[in-house]
């Protein structure tokens, strides 16, 4: 199968996908409720879509094409409320977070569709280990060459959004030491990592055809890259984020990416280069392990800075675009969290809460309350 | 009962279930068979215990007509308290509020199955009081069997959730109705009505207060200790025992107290409470004893006498529950397949009903002799069918986990 043509989309439009955890309301372990939830929510009409994911204790929601942060928030709120209400009728609860803190991966069940069964047969336990929850952001690109240019230019910002969204410190009942341990599950897949460095869509099509001829991939879906083009939508898709604990945080991260993308493509402050990737995996590791306190390296100048500082500088650089795109509310949320005493990311909140409660089921319950938009006692 | 205890010690060589050696061998046999059916058939271990009880009853060594001796009765009460406490602690009242059709299902299936059972029993010329008692039995579904099958098989999904909620609720209704019937039977003349009503009210309020006190005590220790650890579980077990003793002393319902305590604990605060299934190993032994005992509560002779009526009553009960569950399925949020699975899972009849009827039978009344054949036959029919119905219901709903099968030893 050859690569499909790159669809047209309005530049810098946004789409946000969130993978959510379905937990029971008794001990707050993951529970296979996707099918029931889909059946109940099918009666509701929302601007955002709701779909199944690989294991039956996950559910995915995706907004339609949004122009700005305000629309993203509105659509996410609407679908969140519909989902929460449907879940309540089934004695289920929903929450964000990149991993479930104490689930046993072997107990997960594959959601029964042909594609998921195939993936599960190929990847074995990896597919069950893949019960992790991410946020994906689509950014509309004016044309396919710009899409690839943006894809590689954005690679420097991958650590930023990993640190900003990190919400998976706990895995299988243990503290991993990471702010985002979720990405470690993604790296295990053979086609994970960075996209090959190509700036023209023609070159990329040739690459895809070669890969496709080997039989290793059949569609773009088989690449698990950190950022990948989505020709069907005319977008690039940033896939490194954990699902944050609140939809406000999810929308803010999307707004940050939107403003960065606009500043990159309109100002072209630098040319992407293969050498950008020299320190890519190191920087990404720093972001996963230490979050906002991680130290990233500029591969060209060899300068070291904390992500907190780099993001602060970026926020200043994109201020004009934030005003044009009406993204201020979102970026302010990020600005405030950078000043936060206890670290600023959701992962830090999770650790602080667990330190206080000493009880993972209660931690998950509190995650649910935060996702639902409720207040904690 | 000193003579009773004496016989346990002095006659170890007599192979009867009421001797120490006999009881010990039964325990070993039940545990072994539980493991065999689990490994061979993927049936819950509970089935092994029920089979041992059934074989015992068939061979004439069952508990009918003598009834459980004092020591055994204590073990049964404690085991049942643990199961009811656990069942209550899974009932989320918020769920009933947000899904009013589930509450409607619960009320309708209880009322309709009671009515259906009552009329069928009357059609078989059973006296009114006997029919009423059977109606109350027909209302309830054993939460113990349901809970054990669900947790042993690691079942999860709407059918599991709903069968637990519905069985806990209809047991609650049946316990309240049973207490009223109990009071009514004591009344000989019109003058005594008020006194009996006051006694029933005292029993209700007392049971609720004691249940609440137990829940609060458990919540207080749970905040300081982790209930998932073995020693705190023993403490929890101790509290349940204490509540049981107090309930017995004050002549409150030993069934209502733990059930209310569980419900109170679950709904009193938002914090989730998790403790090991049936309170660890100690509780596990008691639960085994309970199911062997219930399984052997009848005798072939009594099934000859009451088997037909019992079968008719159970069929009416099944039809009534199915009708309600299926007709309210879609609007309450489950598919037809799930509704059928749920209806089948609502078959078990077990220890809760047994103890309820034993308490009723303690009232000196001639009709007891007419109730017991039908009731014990119903227990006999459901001894093996009940847990299997839950198991296959959950399998049909695809809610049973198969993950553990791949685990290496």
| pLDDT of A49 above 80 | yes
Using CA coordinates, name the residue in chain A closest to B401. A107
Using CA coordinates, name the residue in chain A closest to B329. A40
Nearest-CA distance A33 → chain B (Å): 6
Nearest-CA distance B209 → chain A (Å): 24
Q: Which of A24, A88, A359 sits opposite B156 (nearest CB)?
A: A24
Phi, psi values for residue A232, rounded to 5°: -55, -40
**Dist CA A135 CA A20 (whole Å):** 9
A172 touching B (Cβ < 8 Å): no
- In a domain, residue A331? The reply is yes
Q: Which positions 73-102 of A are in contact with B (Cβ < 8 Å)?
A: 85, 88-91
**Any idea how long chain A is?**
377
> What range defines the domain where residue A303 resides?
14-372
Phi, psi values for residue A30, rounded to 5°: -60, 150
Domain boundaries, chain B: 35-400
Considering its fold, how many domains does chain A have in total? 1
Q: For each of chain B's 409 residues, which pLDDT tens digit applies? A: 444 544 444 444 455 666 778 788 888 999 999 999 998 988 999 999 999 999 999 988 888 777 788 888 888 999 999 999 999 999 999 999 999 999 999 999 999 999 999 999 999 999 999 999 999 999 999 999 999 999 889 899 999 999 999 999 999 999 999 989 888 888 877 778 888 888 888 999 999 999 999 999 988 887 777 777 777 778 888 888 899 999 999 989 999 999 999 999 999 988 888 877 667 777 888 889 999 999 999 999 999 999 999 999 999 999 999 999 999 999 999 999 999 999 999 999 999 999 999 888 887 777 878 899 999 999 999 999 999 999 999 999 999 875 544 555 5
Please, where are the H alpha helices in A124-200?
A: 125-129, 144-153, 158-165, 182-187
A332 touching B (Cβ < 8 Å): no
Beta carbons of A359 and B406 less than 8 Å apart: no
Beta carbons of A107 and B90 less than 8 Å apart: no
- In a domain, residue A9? The reply is no
Quick: pLDDT tens for A22-37.
Answer: 999 999 999 999 999 9
**Dist CA B377 CA B367 (whole Å):** 16
Beta carbons of B165 and A359 less than 8 Å apart: no
- Flag the least confident range among A64-78, A107-121, B233-247: A107-121
| CATH number for the domain harbouring residue A109 | 3.30.590.20
Beta carbons of B94 and A39 less than 8 Å apart: no
Fill in the DSSP letter of residue B366.
T
| pLDDT of A347 above 50 | yes
| pLDDT of A79 above 90 | yes
A&B contacts, CB < 8 Å: 68
A26 touching B (Cβ < 8 Å): yes
Beta carbons of A362 and B404 less than 8 Å apart: no
- The pair of structure tokens assigned to B223 is 């905040």
For residue B11, the model assigns a pLDDT of 45
Residues of A in contact with B94 (CB under 8 A): 25, 88
Quick: pLDDT tens for B290-316.
Answer: 999 999 999 999 999 999 999 999 999
For residue B361, the model assigns a pLDDT of 83
DSSP labels for A215-282? TS-SSGGG-EESEEEETTTTEEEEEEEEPPSSHHHHHHHHHHHHHHHHHHHHH--S---GGGGTTHHH
- In a domain, residue A5? The reply is no
Average pLDDT rounded to a whole number, residues A107-136: 79
Residues of A in contact with B157 (CB under 8 A): 31-33, 36
- The pair of structure tokens assigned to B50 is 């029920």
For residue B277, the model assigns a pLDDT of 66
For residue B15, the model assigns a pLDDT of 53
Q: Is A138 exposed, middle or buried (0-12, 13-18, 19+ CB in 10 A)?
A: buried
Using CA coordinates, name the residue in chain A closest to B161. A91
B154 touching A (Cβ < 8 Å): yes
Quick: pLDDT tens for B367-389.
Answer: 878 899 999 999 999 999 999 99
Beta carbons of A88 and B94 less than 8 Å apart: yes
Dihedral of CA B367/B370/B372/B375: which sign? Answer: negative
Three-state DSSP class for B99?
A: coil
Beta carbons of A33 and B157 less than 8 Å apart: yes
Quick: pLDDT tens for A248-289.
Answer: 999 999 999 999 999 999 999 999 999 999 999 999 999 999
Mean pLDDT, chain A, integer: 92
| pLDDT of A130 above 80 | no
Percentage, residues of chain A above pLDDT 90: 77
Crossing angle of the two packed helices B256-268 and B70-88, in degrees rounded to 10 = 20
Query: What ipTM was predicted for this assembly?
Result: 0.89
Domain B35-400 grouped into CATH 1.10.3720.10: no
Quick: pLDDT tens for A278-323.
Answer: 999 999 999 999 999 999 999 889 999 999 999 999 999 999 999 9
Beta carbons of A91 and B92 less than 8 Å apart: yes
Beta carbons of A362 and B333 less than 8 Å apart: no
Nearest-CA distance A42 → chain B (Å): 11
């Amino acid at each position: 199968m050859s690569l499909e043509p790159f669809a047209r989309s309005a530049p810098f439009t946004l789409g946000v996908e969130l993978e959510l955890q379905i937990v029971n309301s008794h001990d707050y372990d993951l529970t296979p409720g996707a099918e029931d939830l889909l059946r109940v929510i099918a009666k509701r009409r929302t601007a955002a879509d709701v779909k199944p994911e690989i294991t039956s204790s996950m559910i995915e929601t995706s907004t339609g094409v949004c122009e700005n942060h305000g629309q993203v928030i509105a659509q996410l709120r609407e679908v969140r409320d519909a989902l929460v209400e449907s879940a309540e009728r089934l004695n289920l609860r929903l929450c964000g977070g990149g991993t479930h803190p104490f689930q046993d991966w072997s107990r997960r069940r594959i959601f029964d569709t042909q594609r998921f069964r195939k993936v599960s047969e190929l990847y074995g336990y990896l597919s069950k280990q893949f019960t992790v929850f991410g946020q994906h952001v689509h950014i509309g690109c004016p044309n396919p060459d710009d899409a690839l240019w943006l894809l590689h230019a954005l690679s420097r910002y991958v650590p930023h959004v990993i640190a900003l969204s990190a919400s998976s410190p706990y895995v299988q009942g243990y503290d991993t030491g990471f702010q985002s341990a979720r990405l470690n599950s993604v790296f295990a897949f053979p086609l994970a990592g960075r996209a090959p460095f190509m700036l023209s869509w023609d070159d990329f099509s040739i690459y895809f055809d070669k890969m496709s001829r080997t039989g290793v991939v059949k569609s773009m879906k088989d690449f698990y890259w950190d950022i990948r083009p989505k020709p069907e939508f005319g977008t690039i898709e940033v896939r490194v984020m954990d699902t944050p604990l609140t939809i406000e945080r999810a929308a803010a991260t999307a707004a940050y990416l939107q403003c960065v993308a606009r500043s990159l493509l309109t100002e072209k402050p630098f040319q992407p280069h293969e050498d950008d990737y020299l320190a890519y995996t190191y920087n990404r590791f720093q972001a996963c392990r230490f979050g906002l306190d991680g130290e990233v390296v500029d591969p060209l100048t060899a300068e070291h800075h904390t992500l907190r500082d780099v993001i602060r500088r970026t926020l200043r650089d994109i201020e004009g675009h934030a005003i044009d795109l009406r993204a201020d509310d979102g970026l302010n949320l990020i600005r405030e969290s950078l000043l936060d005493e206890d670290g600023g990311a959701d992962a830090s909140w999770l650790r602080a809460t667990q330190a206080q409660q000493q009880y993972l089921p209660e931690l998950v319950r509190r995650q649910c309350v935060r996702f639902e938009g409720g207040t904690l006692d | 009962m000193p003579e009773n205890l004496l016989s346990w010690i002095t006659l170890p060589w007599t192979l009867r279930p009421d001797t120490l050696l006999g009881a010990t061998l039964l325990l070993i046999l039940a545990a072994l068979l539980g493991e065999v059916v689990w490994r061979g058939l993927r049936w819950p271990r509970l089935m092994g215990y029920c089979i041992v009880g059934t074989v015992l009853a068939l061979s004439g060594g069952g508990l009918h007509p003598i009834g459980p001796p004092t020591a055994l009765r204590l073990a049964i009460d404690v085991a049942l308290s643990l199961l009811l406490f656990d069942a209550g602690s899974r009932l989320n009242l918020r769920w009933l509020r947000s899904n009013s059709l589930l509450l409607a299902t619960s009320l309708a299936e209880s009322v309709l199955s009671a009515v259906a059972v009552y009329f069928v029993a009357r059609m078989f010329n059973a006296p009114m009081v006997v029919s009423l008692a059977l109606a109350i039995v027909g209302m309830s579904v054993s939460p113990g069997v349901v809970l054990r099958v669900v947790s042993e098989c690691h079942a999860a999904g709407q059918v599991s959730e709903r069968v637990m909620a519905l069985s806990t609720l209809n047991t609650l209704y049946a316990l309240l109705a049973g207490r009223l019937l109990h009071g009514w039977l004591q009344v000989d003349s019109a003058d005594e009505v008020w006194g009996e009503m006051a006694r029933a009210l005292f029993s209700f309020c007392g049971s609720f207060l004691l249940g609440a006190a137990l829940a609060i005590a458990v919540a207080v220790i749970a905040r300081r200790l982790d209930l998932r650890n073995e020693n705190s579980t023993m403490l929890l077990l101790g509290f349940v025992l204490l509540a049981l003793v107090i309930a017995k002393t004050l002549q409150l319902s030993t069934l209502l107290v733990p059930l209310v305590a569980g419900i109170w604990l679950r709904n009193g605060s938002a914090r989730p409470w998790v403790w090991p299934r049936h309170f660890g190993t100690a509780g596990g032994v008691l639960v085994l004893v309970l199911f062997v005992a219930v399984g052997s509560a009848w005798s072939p002779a009594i099934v000859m006498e009451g088997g037909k009526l019992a079968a008719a009553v159970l069929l009416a009960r099944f039809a009534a529950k199915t009708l309600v569950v299926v007709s309210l399925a879609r609007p309450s949020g489950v598919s037809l397949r799930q509704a059928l699975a749920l209806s089948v899972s609502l078959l078990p009849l077990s220890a809760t009903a047994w103890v309820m009827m034993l308490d009723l039978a303690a009232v000196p009344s001639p009709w007891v002799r007419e109730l017991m054949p039908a009731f014990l036959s119903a227990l006999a029919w459901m001894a093996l069918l009940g847990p299997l119905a839950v198991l296959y219901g959950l399998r049909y709903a695809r809610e049973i986990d198969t993950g553990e099968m791949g685990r290496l030893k």
